Amino acid sequence: MPVTGASPPFRAPRSWLWTIAFVAAMAAMVLDARLGLLASPWHSLLKVLVLVLGIPLMVSVHRQSEEEGPVSPALTAYNLRMGAAFAACIMILSIAPGVAQRLPPGSAALWLLALAAAAPLCWGIWVTVRYLAQESDEYLRHLTVMSTLAGLAVVLVATTLWGFLDDLGMVPEAWAWWPLPVFAVGMTVARAWLKARSR
Amino acid sequence: MDETCTETPKVWGLTYWGWAAVFIVAMIGASFASRSGLVPAGAAIWVQLAPLVLVAPMAHAQLGLFRKHGVSSPALTRHNRAMLLTLGAFVVCMCLAVYLSRAYRPTGLAAFALALLAIAPVGGIVWSAARYLREETDEFLRHRAVNALLVSLAFVLIVGSLWGSLQMFGLAAPSLNLWVLPAWGFGFGLGNLWWWTRDR
């Protein structure tokens, strides 16, 4: 790209603001679940807020990628499928604890519920595998592969560090699905960095 | 492909497949043993880490297998050597850090420094893999490595999702997140073998 003068002033993309709002609502939901801060209607409303905030977040991310260049059909399908998997994941995780309380411990129904809770997460992984197989745009594929591998690096370092600190009793115990959100954050940051670098 | 040597390479009498079977049995056995109450609570982490020692002969046997079939390059040889060194360093650093944490019960910054000592070789593994992907000039080998890494990531995330869901409903025991690195290593080996058998 020819350099014609001073670069335009930096403007934070709108998707960043929605991401911050969404992450804040998610963090509040996790804190509330752990500490039981909110009473009955507000507790459920917070879960609905997370779901609702997910919609403008996905729309703004899609618009931003359209502004940055042509979006491949595979990427559009990926965004839609991932959005659906994400919504299913939040819905099941919001409902499942309430259902689990009514089921006898260790029962077959509880096992089915646990598998149902894991299903959207596994579906999200499958959606990414399909995207990588279908993406014909070399740049977009390279961007996804590299940011995914960067996410893997973050997972390996962060989980080993957390596991050791957990053994020392310095940090709270983490669920075994913890690598998934760590990966998502690592991949998103790496993708933004790689995009900024290629400009 | 070089098919002149018909015998499968062995390390201490076992082929790669033999070592892989021993590693899986040891990993599962260690997980059960550390949770069964047979080992004292303080020794559980040692039991969980012990099977990592088996990664070295397993990786060595796998390299022999790949070399036999002509799947090698200067960058891959360098990377494999670095990986074996960093994995060895990981076992040593982790054992040292666990021993020091047990002996001195550090808190605050000292504990954090000890944790950094324990994970420094993991940084080495990541650095070595990144350098390999940059230096590999053989497109086929690079493609295979990237795909094996993606398979290993999918493996870790699927195991984590299923196991985490079972934990959430009290159907599986809580765990230290130290399972991720060995599971990744296993998934990487699985990914490599899958591509290798597919291409043959």
Give dist(CA B118, CA B94) in Å, integer: 5
Does the structure show a pLDDT above 90 at A196? Answer: no
CB contact under 8 A, A167 and B98: yes
Q: How far apart are the first and last CA of chain A?
A: 9
ipTM computed for the complex: 0.77
Q: What digits encode the pLDDT tens for the residues A93-123?
A: 778 878 888 888 878 888 999 899 899 989 9
Of A9-18, A137-146, B69-78, which gets the smallest average pLDDT?
Answer: A9-18
Beta-bridge partners for B14: B11
pLDDT tens, position by position, B108-167: 888 888 888 888 999 999 999 999 999 999 888 898 889 999 999 999 999 999 988 888
Q: Which of residues 135-154 of B touch A (CB under 8 A)?
A: 146, 149-150, 152-154
Higher pLDDT, A91 or B157: B157
All residues of chain A having their beta carbon less than 8 Å from the beta carbon of residue B177 are 159-160, 162-163, 166, 174, 176, 178-179
pLDDT at B98 over 80: yes
pLDDT band at B5 (very low <50, low <70, confident <90, very high): low
What does pLDDT average to over chain B?
83
CA distance B19 to B110: 38
Does residue B160 belong to the interface with chain A, where contact is any CB pair within 8 Å?
A: yes
Angle A140-A78-A14 from CA coordinates, rounded to 5°: 75
A108-112, A175-179, B9-13, B48-52 — most confident range: A108-112
Output the pLDDT for position B47. Answer: 80
Point out which residues pair with B11 in neighbouring strands. B14
The pLDDT > 90 percentage for chain B reads: 14
Residue B20 has pLDDT above 90, yes or no: no
B169, B179, B181, B195: best mutation site toward chain A, by most A Cβ within 10 Å? B169
Alpha-carbon distance of A136 to A73, in angstroms, equals: 9
Q: Answer whether B184's CB lies under 8 Å from A196's CB.
A: no
B180 touches A at CB < 8 Å: yes
pLDDT at B175: 75
The mean per-residue pLDDT over the stretch B65-76 comes to 79
A175: left (phi over 0), alpha (psi -120 to 50) or beta: beta
Comparing A80-84, B24-28, B40-44, B73-77, which segment has the lowest mean pLDDT?
A: B40-44
Are A159 and B111 a contacting pair at CB < 8 A?
no
The pTM of the full predicted model, rounded to 2 decimals, is 0.77
Give chain A positions within 8 Å (CB) of B106: 168
Of residues B102 and B36, the one with the higher pLDDT is B102
Whether B70 contacts chain A with CB within 8 A = no
DSSP string, B87-150: HHHHHHHHHHHHHHHHHH---HHHHHHHHHHHHHHHHHHHHHHHHHHHH---HHHHHHHHHHHH
pLDDT at A107: 84
Give the distance from CA B173 to its chain's centroid: 22
Separation CA A179–CA A181 (nearest Å): 6
Q: Looking at residue A10, what is its pLDDT?
A: 60
Quick one: three-class SS letters along A94-140?
Answer: HHHHHHHHCCCCCCHHHHHHHHHHHHHHHHHHHHHHHHHHHCCCHHH
Check the CA dihedral B6-B11-B16-B17 and report its sign: positive
Alpha-carbon Rg for chain B in angstroms = 18
Q: How buried is residue A180: exposed, middle or buried, by Cβ count under 10 Å (0-12/13-18/19+)?
A: buried
What average pLDDT does the segment A49-58 reach? Answer: 82
**Helix, strand, or coil here: A64?**
helix
